[in-house]
Amino acid sequence: MTETQVPTRPLHLRVVWLPDDTVRDLYVDGDRMTFDPVDGAETVATAGFALPGLVDAHCHIGIRRGAAPIESLDEARSLAYTDRDTGVLAIRDAGSPYPYPELVGEDGLPRLIRAGQHIAASKRYLRGIGLECEPDEAAGALARQAKFGDGWVKLVGDWIDRSRGDLAPSFEPEVLTAAIEAAHTEGAKVAVHTFSEEAVACVVEAGADSVEHGTGLAPDLLDRMAAQGTALVPTMVNIDTFDDIAATAESKFPTYADHMRRLKAGFPDVVRAAWEAGVQVYLGTDAGGGIDHGLAAEEMHLLHERAGIPVDGLLAAASWKGRDWLGLPADLGDLVVYDRDPRVDLSALREPAAIILRGRVLA
């Protein structure tokens, strides 16, 4: 999609407003949406189903396919456009090796909420992506990253330990706890990557603000997560790659390969149980690295069809509730319109009829 010129008049839409399932007259005046009539508004939609822009709460516009850092602002911008054109109008970038503060607030780009650079254990993560550190450096490193993001930091809670031949926590529980506390002291929330059972238990008990992936979540952790407000961003489209990861690792690390397959097989039940326990579950694709950008609709299909999340709740989590979680005002001028009702046919999410971002129509 390409942008039009900045509209000379406010915009008007008469559509089914999905947050309250009512035919509403919506007005977009500059970067604000209102239900109150605005003089001189140009009507741009007289039918359809609209919701606030989608949120990809686990995305990496600082990483290109193949797990390599991007090399320019233009490359980051291009990846963000790919997501935007699917209706994703807000992105929490869950870790980037390439800083791009210049893009925050840029016209035409989704709302960007950055988490700084991943903090990982030495020699225990993707090469060139994370800031690798020793245990006694982790808390200070996370605290420093809090100054470079937009209210979030990213901690790698586990990865393969080649000496064990399997997944293992990146740091001891007391180190994870101290690192999360250090980030909180700096006013940042902490998103933590975890696959394994052992690591996710540690970070939930340590007070992480969001669990990323969370394949190893046990049922007895879910009530605690719900009570303390620790969210889950499942990235099911990423977990679908576990069979390929296992096949690649099989010859050298058969225990790890078997573990990854078992985690994938059980994950739909994990996500469903988290939802039913009242854990906040949000949309995230893990775009970048091994996952293409622009897959928000595919992630929503997996959350519904495999994990059984109800469509109404899923749309809320992927849109207005996700935006509220990230601190975005409810009246921003970000709207996506669909010709068909996505509550009846989720495939409508793949075909936005109109996108309005920051009060501007994309055509």
Taking only the tens place, the pLDDT of each residue in 218-240 is 999 999 999 999 999 999 999 99
With a pLDDT cut of 90, the percent of the chain lying above it is: 95
Instruction: Give 39's contacts (C-beta < 8 A, 6+ positions apart).
Output: none
Instruction: Look over the chain and give the mean of its residue pLDDT values, rounded to a whole number.
Output: 96
> Would you give the DSSP letter of residue 5?
P
* Averaged pLDDT, 57-78: 93
Closest to 144 in 3D by CA, of 96, 99, 179 = 179
> To which CATH superfamily is domain 54-325 assigned?
Metal-dependent hydrolases (3.20.20.140)
pLDDT at residue 3 is higher than 50: no
Of 337, 297, 294, the C-alpha closest to 314 is 297
CA 255 to chain CA centroid, Å, is: 30
Residue 346 pLDDT > 90: yes
Is the pLDDT confidence value at 2 over 50? Answer: no
For residue 193, list its beta bridge partners: 156, 212
Sequence ranges of the domains in the chain:
11-51+334-362, 54-325
Architecture of the domain spanning 11-51+334-362: Roll (2.30)
Confidence grade of residue 67 (pLDDT, cut at 50, 70, 90): confident
Q: What is the pLDDT of residue 53?
A: 96
Strand pairing partners for 148?
A: none
**What band does 310 get if pLDDT is binned at 50, 70 and 90?**
very high
Buried/exposed 49-68: b ≥16 CB within 10 Å, e otherwise: bbbbbbbbbbbbbbbbeeee
| pLDDT value of position 208 | 98
Q: Assess whether the region 11-51+334-362 and the region 54-325 belong to the same CATH fold.
A: no
Which pLDDT value is given to residue 65? 83
The pLDDT, as a whole number, for residue 8 is: 57
Q: What is the pLDDT of residue 290?
A: 84
pLDDT over 50 at 4, yes or no: no
Look at strands 42-45 and 11-17 and give their pairing. parallel
Is residue 6 pLDDT above 60, yes or no?
Answer: no
Give tens-digit pLDDT for 187-226.
Answer: 999 999 999 999 999 999 999 999 999 999 999 999 999 9
Per-residue pLDDT at 7: 47
What is the secondary structure of 59-83 as a DSSP string?
E-TTEEBTTEE--SHHHHHHHHHHH
Split at pLDDT 50, 70, 90, the class of 1 is very low
Q: What is the pLDDT of residues 137-149, one digit of tens each?
A: 999 999 999 999 9
Asked whether the predicted pLDDT for residue 121 surpasses 80, the reply is: yes
42 close to 53: Cβ distance less than 8 angstroms: no
pLDDT at 17: 98
Position 363 scores a pLDDT of: 66
